[in-house]
Chain A
Amino acid sequence: MSSGDGASQSSSKKSKKPTYSRFTQQELPAFKPILTPGLIMAAFVFLGITFIPIGLSHLSASDNVVQLVDRYDEDCIPTYNSNPEEAHNKRIQYIRDASTNKTCVRTLIVPKKMRHPIFVYYQLDDFYQNHRRYVKSRNDEQYRNPSAERKTANCEPEAVNDDHEPIVPCGLIAWSLFNDTYSLLRNDVPLPINKKDIAWQSDKTHKFGSNVYPKNFQSRSLIGGATLNESIPLNQQDDLLVWMRTAALPSFRKLYGRIETDLEANEVIKVVIQNNYNTYTFNGKKKFVISTTTWIGGKNDFLGKVYITVGGASLFIAIAFISVYLVMPRPLGDPSYLSWNKNPPSN
């Protein structure tokens, strides 16, 4: 203990010793775990036996997901037989021309029975929705409040039109709204896609106003994507809401709608695509996806595989540890293994 008896024993002298408390003397009750071999082995074995089942259930869930991905941007545009640069320019011209017929029919065969709700997505690759200037280009106040329509800060260049009237909704994110449309035929019978409630609830109720209407949208010289129906308020424009939740990575999917009936195996699904969206300028890819979901979501076996790998590695390490420990046993707490006892100093 830090304080001694010293001269403070005599009752007449005032003791200068500070009052004792467990906190100030750093003697709080403590739990002091250390890494014993038993604990280490138990930890690795525990990891192994919990992670492997989790990984297996992940993998089985992911295997149960039925997913169809179809890339259509290359096939849905006419090919030009000139040199690559000219062909590239011709394609861009084609996609920008409003008068060309952009209908394209794709055929998909259902591999396994798909239970409803079946989710329909469009997937874009090499589209950097996470670019800083793009993400910045929005004004949340304007989207919520009709009286804030003049607030177009950060939305440049899609802030005001040529008459200096504000664009609602302003910004590059809204301006580049995806405008390919899909309609499905199952055995030549139209298959309805439910486009209600595809956006997050909080977007509908709080982020976008129920009395904010699009105005002057896509009214400048360069049109970036879809146009909006000016009589529908923003918070009911589900496609816009889904698009405005910017994606994290350059390759992403966005929810387009839901199919509310089951699809049987080997059924032929025809997808009639209006190939409007211009990804050809930057060589992006467009894909049409239909997928079921399980408790873990869509199809991705990465998580399951890694769980199993980590669990397996832990068991392997536990076994390796035990064998090394048995082959080269050393008494615990043996000070002869300390470095300065192994090589005694010369002085």
Chain B
Amino acid sequence: METAINIGYACSLLREDMKQIVITLDSPEISNLEKLGDKVAVAKASNTSITNQIREAKLQMNSFEGSSTSFGLIIDGKSLSFALSQNLEDSFLDLAINCASVICCRSTPKQKALVTRLVKKGTGKTTLAIGDGANDVGMLQEADIGVGISGVEGMQAAMSSDFAIAQFRFLERLLLVHGHWCYRRISLMICYFFYKNLAFGFTLFWYEANASFSGQPAYNDWYMSFYNVFFTSLPVIALGVFDQDVSARLCLKYPLLYQEGVDDILFSWPKILGWMLNGIISSMIIFFFTTNSVLHQAFRKDGHAVDFEVLGVLMYTCVVWTVNCQMALSINYFTWIQHFFIWGSILFWYAFLVMYGAVSPIISTTAYQVLVEACAPSPFYWLGTLLVVVSSLLPFFLYRAFQTEFNPMIHDVIQRRRHEAETSGDFEQEGKVARVKDKLREDVSLLSK
């Protein structure tokens, strides 16, 4: 017990200004009963003792309510076995939740798992457990997120965990940097996925209204098959795997960024529905602008009128450009990967049209030479694409402009600060120091091979 308290002070779990609540069975009466050997009596007395201690602790806490004192609870393994029994676990949880830190010393692996389960079920919050030995395996499995430290005590903890790290202090980086990045990446990726498929699918739906709902798709079959495979998939992968809204150094410097994930700001229902609405509005703009601009008249100087193939290519081109440029507008981080995937997907669409259009018309049916012969020589096609793409992106751009200026989220604020610092030169110094450090590390790693 004493060791536990000293370790608590050493790693700042317990502070000088905290009130300690100690729940223990090391009292004279219990020891006497144990000497007598009557197990039933010992159990009964222990139970009563624990109940009383918990009650007193709660009273003590209530008397301090309103002031800013924090409490630290220390409980040992023997007491824990009673505190976790059916009748006491709720009050124990209630007491523990209101403490700033809780130290359970000398607890068995089973108790560790039980405590984790109690907290998980009782509070309904996400729990994280970290441990390095085989005795932590139960706890790691029980918690929502189990972090195992591989090393001194073997690989047991690492093998049964969700994340394995090498040293305890890497936990900070795991949470603040990778946790934040992953949250943003996944939430943005899912929202964007809904958006791009709605933008594509609804153009087909609006077209059906003009095709007497007979089920005739507006596009050639192979365009549709390849939509999610070639023309719009790589940018999403780039988003989901590589995106960083704020650099690692700034993530560590401003731990408040992590709060975005805790408050679930980026994946709330308004955000999801907003993206879906964006998709539907984009599809409406794409469809109605393209069909109203082609109606019946000739679209080229040589008098040819628009047919099914040309309208399909025009609309599909607009869709591909719009969803890819929407990606470019949503992210703030462009490495060569993002550039290659986004612009490459758009170029691949044109390359695909040329290649597919060169195949015999038995196979390519409505796509035969459609870009090379019909669309590319028509200025109307290119100008129409430009207008439709810009118009579809304008609502989102407007929303983002007003949001970053007048109602920014924390990562917008940090990005702005970094940008200002960079432009004014302060970050230059910090950046230089960081770069020198990186270079040194590189050299050290090369030397140590």
Contact = CB atoms under 8 A, between A and B. Distances in A.
A20 B412 CA distance: 30
Contact of B401 (A35, A246, A250, A258): A35
A303 to B, nearest CB: 4
B362 A144 contact: yes
Interface string A241-277: 0000111111111110010000000000000000000
- Name the residue among B215, B417, B419 with the largest chain A CB count within 10 angstroms: B419
B99 to A, nearest CB: 13
B300 interface: yes
Contacts of A146: none
Interface residues of A, number: 92
Contacts of B153: none
B242 interface: yes
B394 interface: yes
A245 B309 contact: yes
Contact of A29 (B170, B335, B445): B335
Contact of B337 (A28, A36, A340): A28
Across the A-B interface, give the 5 residue pairs with the lowest CB-CB distance, nearest first. A298-B297, A248-B311, A132-B216, A119-B303, A298-B298
Given A132-B215, A253-B296, A26 B242 contact: yes
A2 interface: yes
B123 interface: no
Interface in B228-272: 242, 244, 248, 259
Nearest to B442: A20
A249 B210 contact: yes
B298 A291 contact: yes
Given A20-B445, A131-B214, A306-B391, A294 B362 contact: no
B441 interface: yes
B362 A121 contact: no
Interface stretch (B104-112, B316-324, B378-386): B378-386
Contact of A117 (B166, B214, B303, B445): B303
A103 interface: no
A200 B405 contact: no
B362 A58 contact: no
Contacts of A317: 398
A252 B334 contact: no
Contacts of B401: 35, 40, 321
Interface stretch (A77-85, A158-166, A330-338): A330-338
B216 A135 contact: yes
Contacts of A250: 210-212
Given A253-B297, A255-B305, A302-B293, A310 B390 contact: yes
Nearest to A298: B297
22 contacts: A1-B441, A3-B441, A8-B448, A20-B442, A28-B242, A31-B334, A32-B418, A34-B332, A34-B416, A51-B390, A54-B383, A200-B374, A207-B361, A252-B296, A291-B297, A293-B303, A294-B301, A297-B301, A300-B295, A303-B387, A307-B387, A310-B390
Contacts of B368: 202, 206-207
A37 interface: yes
Contacts of A255: 303-305
Given A31-B334, A144-B362, A333-B417, A246 B308 contact: yes
A140 interface: yes
B413 A335 contact: yes
A27 B442 CA distance: 13
Interface string B365-380: 1001100011000111
Interface in A11-28: 11, 15-17, 19-20, 26-28
Contacts of A246: 307-308
B365 A293 contact: no
